[in-house]
Amino acid sequence: MNLLPESQMMSMSLSQYSQFLQQNKVVPQSDNRAREVREVGEMIAAAATKYLRAKGVGDRVAGFKWEFNLVESNDVNAWCMPGGKVVFYTGILPITKDKDGLAVVMGHEVAHAIARHGNERMSQALLAQTGAMALDIALAQKPQQIRQLFAQAYGLGATVGVILPFSRTHESEADKMGLVFAAMAGYNVGVAPDFWNRMANVGGSRPPEFLSTHPDPASRAQEIKEYLPTAKAYAKRYRNSSAQQPAGR
């Protein structure tokens, strides 16, 4: 269910992303951590673009202008907005540990954006709140509500009281797509099960919002293990392709 025009999603993304960066402490690119996030992001974006073009659906990233930023925050979180606007929080770095772990998360978040999962959960929430109201009327009469739903859909900071959860289907899809992108980009996706197990142990009885509605950690790790050969097969197929060249900024 994608009720919102993708052009509008990307327009809101530009506005919200800029506002978020102004309101948070962005780690400068001179910092090795920020450089790693950008490097991994560009590799994942390039691989994803190559994959989509090979499948004949390159329009999924038409108009994307990739940006990768790291912000100082203890929150264990990361997200990718429509148009390729990506933020990692420093709180997730001890869990990712290295570039391979970063690639697992980056691939997962990029996959959510490419699959337009945010639009879908926003659409579901909008439908629930506005009922049968025509979409164009809702957009005209409730612009603040739309912006709030967008912020909730992407978990933009602690000031957002609610984060709209992805469904388990979304999460499984993003896991698999993300593994393919990361493997194609040349990263060791074999670390993925251990990463998600570490994530499941964060916060004790209250896991981070990053894990909202995710599948059971044990079954998730098993599903990822079973999918690894498929992801690695894509890596082998594209080993010498241009997919491993960084995406343009």
In angstroms and rounded to an integer, the radius of gyration of the C-alpha atoms of the chain is 17
pLDDT at position 234, please? Answer: 84
pLDDT at position 200, please? Answer: 80
pLDDT at position 199, please? Answer: 85
CA atoms in the 13 A half-sphere facing the CB of 176: 12
pLDDT at position 95, please? Answer: 95
Which tens digits make up the pLDDT trace of 198-232? 888 876 555 555 555 555 667 788 899 999 999 99
pLDDT at position 110, please? Answer: 97
pLDDT at position 248, please? Answer: 46
In which residue are the tokens 């498929």 written? 230
- pLDDT tens series, the chain, 249 aa: 565 667 766 777 788 899 899 999 999 999 999 999 999 999 999 999 999 998 899 999 988 999 999 999 998 889 998 899 999 999 999 999 999 999 999 999 999 999 988 777 766 666 656 554 545 555 566 666 666 666 666 666 544 444 545 677 888 899 999 999 999 999 999 999 999 888 888 765 555 555 555 556 677 888 999 999 999 998 888 765 544 445 544
pLDDT at position 249, please? Answer: 42
Alpha-carbon gap, residue 243 to 181, rounded angstroms: 9
